[in-house]
Structure 1
Amino acid sequence: MKSNNKSRSIPIIAFLFMFMIIGCKAQATTVHVDKKTVSAGDHPKLILTKAGVESIRQELGKVPLFDTSLKNVKEDVDKEIAQGIDTPIPKDFSGGYTHLRHKQNFLTLKMAGILYQLLEDEKYAVYVRDMLFQYEAMYKDLPVHPKERSYARGKLFWQCLNDSNWLVYVSQAYDCVYDYLSQKEREQLEKNLFRPFADFISIENPQFYNRVHNHSTWGNAAVGMIGLVMNDDELIQRALYGIKDAKIDIQAKDNDGGLIYTEGKAGFLANVDDPFSPEGYYTEGPYYQRYAMYPFLIFAQGLHNVRPDIKIFEYKDSVLLKSVNALINLSDADGEFFPLNDGQKGMSYYSREVITAVDISYKFGGKNPQLLSIAEKQGHVLLDDSGLAVAIGIREGKAKPFVKKSINLTDGSDGKQGGVGILRYGNEDLTLVFKYAAQGLSHGHYDKLSFSMFEKGDELLQDYGLARFVNIGQKGGGNYLKENQSYAKQSIAHNTLIQNEVSHFKGEYEIGSKHHSELYFFDTANSEVQVVSTIEKNAYPGTEIHRTMAMIKSANFEKPFVLDIMKIKSDSENQYDLPFHFMGQMIEVNFENTAPATLNVLGKDNGYQHLWLEGQGKPVSDNAKLLWLNAGKFYTLTSTVNKTDEFLFTRIGANDPDFNLRRDAAFIIRRKKSKNTIFVSVIEPHGSYSTVSELALNSNSNIAEVKVRYDDENYTALTIEDVEGNLQLFILSNEDASQTKEHKLKIDDKEYRWTGPYHYSNLNK
């Protein structure tokens, strides 16, 4: 083994290229064979199978996308082999050399094993064997990782989560070279490396392993997959059902701030049961759904091949396969996932985990041709039977566009813990993401009834996402930064109501995890008027928040717009802040804004301590208007206001000496000493600006006035008047959301009758 004290540099270009190519294609293989033919002695059997390998070999050179993927992987693995094997003594956080080296090793090991099977070239088996024995020699005496930040320290990595990543991938490599190794070599590896490794991340770290969380899913899959390769029933049972009678400190918290307590639920099947809703929404949010899709689906594929009696792809009404469709629907027009909860902006369905998910879902989920269009965009397939099936489908011209429509994704194992409503107009010309979900475990944020908006792939009103620079060692070792808790998770970082400058549920996980918002109704039957309406009663005791958002396309407007009605009932007087985190450059407002000579911090806690107050204003009319420019398009926010309201312009950055937070802006409507009140706003996309022609088209708002015409406990009615004098009327039933309920309401001596929870009409002059 090479000296573990010597740090070898990795060529940057090669390293990044390796991550893009091997990372994306670093998946294993599945072949649909008669499971009765699979026995304990058949290898490969986990992801690749004997029959599958033969099928792939027969197709080599005939399937362009598969052949290209294989060629790219071979080139990159050959470069790694030429570089030599390095298994350094672990010492770094994420982003450091030893962390990245061991990560690169497990990705390369897996792909080298697959190349051995597909190309029958012994050099790949030798490479896998030699590296495994370097790890075997190291692991016997390896202490826990020297970095002490994690609630469950690993050995190769600073946390057991990454150790589990290693074993999930390496188990596939071991399966591929199993028959190449002698019995003595296998016994040595299993005794000194694989079994101790599996025991360490499970029995020796029950606080990591025995819970419902994406961390545990990786641990369960790691133990289960090596158990399947080794034909170890004890490990397989431990993977599926967790550790029996595990003793866990229920007051301990993980490094994401969540309590390590799941009421006795543990194991892979529990991690399928609890976090997924019936439609396949994963409660931690799309960023972590993407991350967890790999262990969920790759272990499921192994179970399907080796333990077909479990019928894992049918489990919970095939929820693992449904989850792929749900995940793709949680992305914008560019394929980037909505940054709900802890989510890094820019993460997309081009990631290696989603390539795995798409290929496996296509193969085992009925060969949905829409998934082929996603695979075409990804440009890579798994080097296994599922990847081959996708590549053949594309070769044969079976791909159809994946059409993302408006959808309501419920949250909770039974679909009764809130959800995420997504309204889309046209070909994602405008998208509204409305969050009324459960807490989302330790990665959840305190933002009930929040929203974000997109025009095509451009975010115009943002959700902040996470405060972390993943795998950038200079920023907290690539881990979550303290500002994730002090700002990104707090309610003021989102487009929702904040009462008395205190976050929802006081920003406490133990309280927030007990509650969720309630869906009032979701109606997208009319593509021209789509509505989602929800109620939150627990964010602030004694206060009920009812928010209704409608996406409307009117012939009088160039583009669809969004109507936002927030009705508040409270037992006491409060200060209410309603922020709009707009992206881009402010162009114009219809009130006088004063900018201070010296910046002051907006507040003391709950995220307010991170906001500079850059401007203040007061209403000059019944409507406040903010016009801004973003990505060459104009947007106007028109809000009904009271004479005593205050307008605040803020920017992130206060009390952030390390510049861990982005310097983004927000516009806040503040209403003091209010008990029951209502906020009504319209977000209106319009026009365009070209920096080449320097021409601004339709840069002015088309709205003359937004006015509340009627408001009581039963009904809220408002009108939107355009600059031509045309009126649009929207009436909401506040107490009865039945689709068959008949209503009538008299407004200004005119009676309106309708059926259902809302009424919309054009009152053109």
Structure 2
Amino acid sequence: MKSFFQILLLFFCIHIYAQEHPNLILTKKGVENIRKELGNIPLFDETLQKTKKEVDAEIATGIHVPIPKDMAGGYTHDRHKKNWSILQKAGVLYQILRDDSYASYVHNVLKAYAKMYPTLPLHPQTRSYARGKLFWQCLNDANWLVYVSQAYDCIYEFLTQEERDYLEKNLFIPYANFLSVDTPQFFNRIHNHSTWGNVAVGMIGLVMDNDELIKRALYGLKSDNIDPHLKDNDGGFIKSEGQKAGFLANLDTPFSPDGYYTEGPYYQRYAMYPFMIFGEALQNAKPELKIFEYKNGVLIKAVYALLNLTDADGEFFPLNDGQKGMSYYSKELVSAVDIAYHFGGNDSSLLSIASKQNIVQLDDSGLAVAKGLQQNKATPFLKKSIEFRDGSNGTEGGVGVLRSINQHFDAVMKYTAQGLSHGHYDKLSLSYYNKGNEVLQDYGLARFVNIEQKNGGGYLEENTSWAKQSISHNTIIQDETSHFNGEFEKGSAHHSEKYLFDISNPKLQIISAKEENAYPNTKLHRTLVMLEDKEDFDTPILIDMMKFASDSTHQYDMPFYYFGQIINTNFKYSSPQQLKKLGTKNGYQHLWLEGKSIIRDKRTSQITWLSNKTFYTLSTLTNANDELLLTRIGASDPNFNLRRDPAFIIRKPKTKKDIFINIIEAHGSYNPITEIAHKAFSTIKDIKAVSLAKENYIGWKIITKKGNTHRFILCTSDSKKDTSHTITLNGKSVQWIGPYVYNKVK
């Protein structure tokens, strides 16, 4: 039987083991392995030297901890933002290089913060629903603590107990309490903001071995810590006991089983750093939680989802609020790819992404990636056609991506849930890419992130009046009114429904989805077909069919936002001498009407434009009295906050039900050096609707200039693969199995 002193010693040893530092992104064993490999792993060594050069240069300038006053992009904002990055890197350098000067620098900066923090009121800028202290919003305060926790972890054993007590009493514990108990409207939500807050509190809790903070981070606040009258940023009451909140809830609810994040790729990218870095920290400090197995490994799946939601250049599709140009070269994805590789099974295809990034984390995961690259283990990361379900259980619509066989063309269709506060009103929207170039664009967000002159780097009014409105997307609009009337609560109550996603034939790939709640008593059904037939088309063509039906007569618009110069149209249009706005609200007030044509009889109308040295033609089946509108963004925009991009709008003025049938075709090229145009004309001669007696079937045929006919028939009521169908067409019986049939007649 063990004596009291033996038990006490055992407890002491266990506690010391639990408190071993570093234990977040670095471990003692990991640091030993890194130090043994210094000079042997090129990419890791290069990253280390770049980091050392950056940190050394910053240390030479002294300590800068100004009193906060500025919005994003201002001096104090950027200074504190830079501090969190340099502190984290300096802490890592101390562990790897064993140079006390880095630890001393981190300690001195933290002491300056600890001296200032107890005196700080809320930030003087009052625009945020949750004002921070160092920054104008709590979100950035949380960013700071996520990074600085890592720095503190790295120098923890360098400090005396007295020094640690001072920092924790005056800085870290008050800071964690401020982000959580003092600001529950920020902390206790399901949102990327709250994820950062949860992780900030959890990371510093792990460093200090503070179980209360760790539990608070994982599970959220209890109801007795929350003012019951406090509302969150979207007007809804914040989470209380009986409702899920905290880090685990932010894994459960926004992520689908496929790893898709309901806010969209841009904010998924932003949130992946706290998700993955806390995952790494929990795996190192509390491996018994098995965090990377949580929800069937959703954290690792999320990294793959993000990588697959990029174009050929690695840029994320700008679904919902998303800044164009953000890509997997961002620091968040460097971290995510490294951690996913190290903790997710050493998938060699991730190494090819890491090779393009050409930088790694300075930790165990980064070392593993750098080693894998040195050993030539990388294999290509092949992005193929793929569908991601939305919703916690994967039952709230989704996003489908069709990719051509050569991976040059990407067609993206969005049929998701609302996407929380960052969602746009664009059910069944389309965007299209060729080798990373936008052919048909999603506008993205209206914001200049961290550019002080543009509303302090925050969202512009035009994000609501334009970017979120349905007319700013390539989707159908009824009566110049956005889906769900642009109302968040209505939009959040519904999601579109997948009808069909079939990529079994790489030469004929299909996405089809329905939306029956965007407008009262109106049913929408969109189908995209990517058809590859090299006899008729040099590149894949994208067939776009939108069926709509309502109980009453309405006006319907179908916009297509393109880039480049109009080359030709096969219809005549008039241009006004003085520009007028297309409408007065719901985004229409931001469009200039530059040209208009009224179609006199049923025909195939075509518009051709040149963009990035490639010709594109949009062919559309138009009826008598349909209108073709040439528009441009920029009206009602005195501060030039919007891009001046053009659009082609097909309008059906008065109808109860009809079909938009459009074909987007890339063809030929133009060489500005030789000044030679190659295949500048479309190969499509005509589009015709197929007359079908049965209500639940639609059909169309494409006639090429070579005289070939491509016919497609779709059942719109039964998507089962094994259902038999029989219809009469031109007096002949047509039979097939499955939801559609395609054939080509020469």
TM-score by length of 2: 0.96
Aligned to 2:101: 123
Query: Offset of 1:308 from its aligned partner?
Result: 1.2
Question: Retained in 1: the 8 A contact 2:186–2:232?
Answer: no
Cα distance in 2 for partners of 1:710, 1:59 equals 71
CA shift in 2, pair 1:170/1:674, >3 Å: same
Aligned to 1:83: 61
Cα distance in 1 for partners of 2:691, 2:457 equals 52
Q: Does residue 668 of structure 1 match 2:649? A: yes
Aligned to 1:481: 460
CA shift in 2, pair 1:55/1:633, >3 Å: same
Query: Offset of 1:434 from its aligned partner?
Result: 0.4
Q: What are the within-5 Å matches in structure 2 for residues 625-644 of structure 1?
A: 625-644=606-625
Aligned to 1:68: 46
Cα distance in 1 for partners of 2:516, 2:261 equals 23
Q: What are the within-5 Å matches in structure 2 for residues 399-548 of structure 1?
A: 399-548=378-527
Aligned to 1:651: 632
Q: What are the within-5 Å matches in structure 2 for residues 6-45 of structure 1?
A: 39-45=17-23
Cα distance in 1 for partners of 2:424, 2:238 equals 18
Q: 2:207 aligns with which of 229, 239, 244?
A: 229
SS at match of 1:212: coil
Q: Does residue 202 of structure 1 match 2:180? A: yes
Question: Retained in 1: the 8 A contact 2:387–2:501?
Answer: yes
Aligned to 1:591: 571
CA shift in 2, pair 1:694/1:38, >3 Å: farther
Cα distance in 2 for partners of 1:663, 1:553 equals 33
Q: Does residue 618 of structure 1 match 2:598? A: yes
SS at match of 1:427: coil
Cα distance in 2 for partners of 1:755, 1:524 equals 16
Q: How much identity, in percent, do the aligned residues show?
A: 58
AA partner of residue 104 (structure 1):
K
Q: 1:331 aligns with which of 310, 313, 318?
A: 310
CA shift in 2, pair 1:48/1:251, >3 Å: closer
AA partner of residue 155 (structure 1):
K
Q: Deviations over 1:575-631 (max 9, x none)?
A: 001101111111111111111111111111110111111111122551111101111
Aligned to 1:27: none
Question: Retained in 2: the 8 A contact 1:624–1:638?
Answer: yes
Query: Offset of 1:262 from its aligned partner?
Result: 5.5
AA partner of residue 669 (structure 1):
I
SS at match of 1:103: helix
SS at match of 1:556: coil
CA shift in 2, pair 1:261/1:551, >3 Å: farther
Cα distance in 2 for partners of 1:763, 1:427 equals 26
Aligned to 1:32: none
Cα distance in 2 for partners of 1:634, 1:77 equals 49
Cα distance in 1 for partners of 2:376, 2:139 equals 40
Q: Does residue 750 of structure 1 match 2:729? A: no
Aligned to 1:5: none
Q: Deviations over 1:305-356 (max 9, x none)?
A: 1111211000000000011000000000000000000000000000000000
Query: Offset of 1:713 from its aligned partner?
Result: 2.2
Aligned to 2:371: 392
SS at match of 1:83: coil
Cα distance in 1 for partners of 2:230, 2:623 equals 46
SS at match of 1:572: strand
Question: Retained in 2: the 8 A contact 1:591–1:618?
Answer: no
CA shift in 2, pair 1:390/1:613, >3 Å: same
AA partner of residue 696 (structure 2):
N
Cα distance in 2 for partners of 1:262, 1:724 equals 63
Aligned to 2:4: none
Unaligned runs of 5+ in 1: 1-34
Aligned to 2:664: 683
Aligned to 1:185: 163
AA partner of residue 92 (structure 1):
D
Stretch moving more, 411-420 or 580-589 = 580-589
SS at match of 2:17: coil
Q: 2:585 aligns with which of 592, 600, 605?
A: 605
CA shift in 2, pair 1:37/1:233, >3 Å: closer
The size of the alignment, in residue pairs, is: 728
Query: Cα RMSD (Å) of the superposition?
Result: 1.4
Aligned to 1:721: 703
Question: Retained in 2: the 8 A contact 1:206–1:243?
Answer: yes
AA partner of residue 724 (structure 1):
K
Q: What are the within-5 Å matches in structure 2 for residues 567-578 of structure 1?
A: 567-578=547-558
Cα distance in 2 for partners of 1:501, 1:426 equals 38
Query: Offset of 1:39 from its aligned partner?
Result: 2.5
Aligned to 1:168: 146
Q: Deviations over 1:59-82 (max 9, x none)?
A: 010000000000100000000001
Q: Deviations over 1:546-565 (max 9, x none)?
A: 11110000131111001111
Aligned to 2:6: none
Question: Retained in 1: the 8 A contact 2:402–2:509?
Answer: yes
Query: Offset of 1:745 from its aligned partner?
Result: 1.9
Question: Retained in 1: the 8 A contact 2:44–2:359?
Answer: yes
Question: Retained in 2: the 8 A contact 1:334–1:457?
Answer: yes
CA shift in 2, pair 1:339/1:38, >3 Å: farther
Question: Retained in 1: the 8 A contact 2:55–2:86?
Answer: yes
Stretch moving more, 670-679 or 220-229 = 670-679
CA shift in 2, pair 1:91/1:316, >3 Å: same
Q: 2:34 aligns with which of 50, 56, 66?
A: 56
Q: Does residue 159 of structure 1 match 2:137? A: yes
Q: Deviations over 1:10-69 (max 9, x none)?
A: xxxxxxxxxxxxxxxxxxxxxxxxx99982331111110111000000001000000000
Aligned to 2:715: 733
Query: Offset of 1:633 from its aligned partner?
Result: 0.5
Cα distance in 1 for partners of 2:84, 2:220 equals 25
Query: Offset of 1:636 from its aligned partner?
Result: 0.5
Q: 1:702 aligns with which of 683, 693, 714?
A: 683
Cα distance in 2 for partners of 1:260, 1:307 equals 32
Stretch moving more, 586-595 or 358-367 = 586-595
Question: Retained in 2: the 8 A contact 1:258–1:442?
Answer: no
Cα distance in 1 for partners of 2:676, 2:407 equals 25
Q: Does residue 358 of structure 1 match 2:340? A: no
Cα distance in 2 for partners of 1:51, 1:37 equals 18
Question: Retained in 2: the 8 A contact 1:258–1:441?
Answer: no
Query: Offset of 1:426 from its aligned partner?
Result: 2.1
Cα distance in 2 for partners of 1:485, 1:631 equals 30
SS at match of 1:720: strand
SS at match of 1:313: helix
Cα distance in 2 for partners of 1:94, 1:750 equals 68
SS at match of 1:460: strand
Unaligned runs of 5+ in 2: 1-12
CA shift in 2, pair 1:548/1:440, >3 Å: same
Query: Offset of 1:258 from its aligned partner?
Result: 6.4
Cα distance in 2 for partners of 1:546, 1:204 equals 47
Question: Retained in 2: the 8 A contact 1:259–1:442?
Answer: no
Query: Offset of 1:250 from its aligned partner?
Result: 7.1
Cα distance in 1 for partners of 2:256, 2:287 equals 24
Q: Does residue 562 of structure 1 match 2:526? A: no
Q: 1:315 aligns with which of 291, 294, 300?
A: 294
Cα distance in 2 for partners of 1:258, 1:687 equals 51
AA partner of residue 468 (structure 2):
K
Query: Offset of 1:259 from its aligned partner?
Result: 4.2
Question: Retained in 2: the 8 A contact 1:713–1:735?
Answer: no
CA shift in 2, pair 1:136/1:349, >3 Å: same
Greater relative CO, 1 or 2 (CA 8 Å, sep 6+): 1
Cα distance in 1 for partners of 2:133, 2:475 equals 42
AA partner of residue 725 (structure 2):
H
Q: Does residue 372 of structure 1 match 2:351? A: yes
Cα distance in 1 for partners of 2:110, 2:584 equals 53
